[in-house]
Amino acid sequence: MANMFAVILVIATLVTGIMWLLEKCVLAPKRRAQKASGIAGHEVQQAEPDAKKLAPKPGWMETGASVFPVLAVVLIVRSFLYEPFQIPSGSMMPTLLIGDFIVVEKFAYGIKDPLYQNTLINTGHPKRGDIAVFKYPKDPSVDYIKRVIGVPGDRVTYDPVEKEVTVTPGCSSGQACGKDLAITYSNVEPSGFVQTFSNGGQSTSGFWPLPQGQDKDGGVRLDQRNETLGDVTHRILTVPIAQDQVGMYYRQGGQQAATWIVPPGHYFMMGDNRDNSADSRYWGFVPEKNMVGKAVVIWMSFEKQQGAWPTGVRLNRIGSIK
């Protein structure tokens, strides 16, 4: 089921649409007939005022009917074309930052009905390297955004020490897998972000953009690498002092720890901020039905920390997502 806003939008559009039809097809013709009848029985100089008294237009009906076209356009655009989202966490840094406002292309992965997300028209499927918004499988009322790492039939392996991914296509049907996908990594370099921690280092208290040579009390400068996944190159961040808790990984039946074979109709998703992302490594696969759309552009960006008020505007971030 879609989130509450989508349900409310559909209901509001339906109700105002009924009001619009009643106004156009029933009430307006009736008022015109009453007006004509009223004018015929009065003096010419009194015709207009008397006609208005005889055929008043209800204010609530006028308001509802006039709102319908606006709601209909919003519903169509939001449900089938584009939808705005805000980035609330740092799991996709450095590609997407906290405070980025993005536009998601809804039709990239099929035209779906706005309530139950059933595919009406198939227009495409997620590809490796796409940045996709999806309904969190454990709570579909929550929207997540991650990068597509594995598509149906891929065997995905994550090395928690080297913090590198291996993807082998064609493993879902039980026969010998194909060759590994070409995935390359650049050398590790210091990034432009320092991460601070709270609760004895157990949770993140902020990600701070700081030039090399500057630091923050209790902060750790994140490492950065380029990851090339097939023909898609993007940056990833890692925490040099972090060790993955492999025991908390989602364990797929018949597979070793940190290895997964993506089932048909599902996807394996990971955040670019690898040590700060709760993703498919921990909770499993995303059904294609849960896919909302592909993130394509940043239309506004505010300087902010998670859960805090904005402190500025990052106009230089506005543009297509790479």
Q: What residues act catalytically?
A: 91, 146
Distant-in-sequence, close-in-space partners of 145: CB < 8 Å, separation ≥ 6: 85, 87, 91, 92, 96, 102, 131, 132, 133, 134, 295
SS3 of the chain: CCCHHHHHHHHHHHHHHHHHHHHHHHHHHHHHHHHHHHHHCCCHHHHHHHHHHHCCCCHHHHHHHHHHHHHHHHHHHHHHHEEEEECCCCCCCCCCCCCEEEEEEHHHHCEECCCCCCEEECCCCCCCCCEEEEECCCCCCCEEEEEEEECCCCEEEEECCCCEEEEECCCCCCCCCCCCCCEEECCCEEEEEEEEEECCCCEEEEEEECCCCCCCCCCEEEEEEEEEECCEEEEEEECCCCCCCHHHCCCCCCCCCCEEECCCCEEEEECCEHHHCCCHHHHCCEEHHHEEEEEEEEEEEEECCCCCCCCEECHHHCEECC
In this structure, the number of other CB atoms found within 10 A of the CB of residue 220 comes to: 17
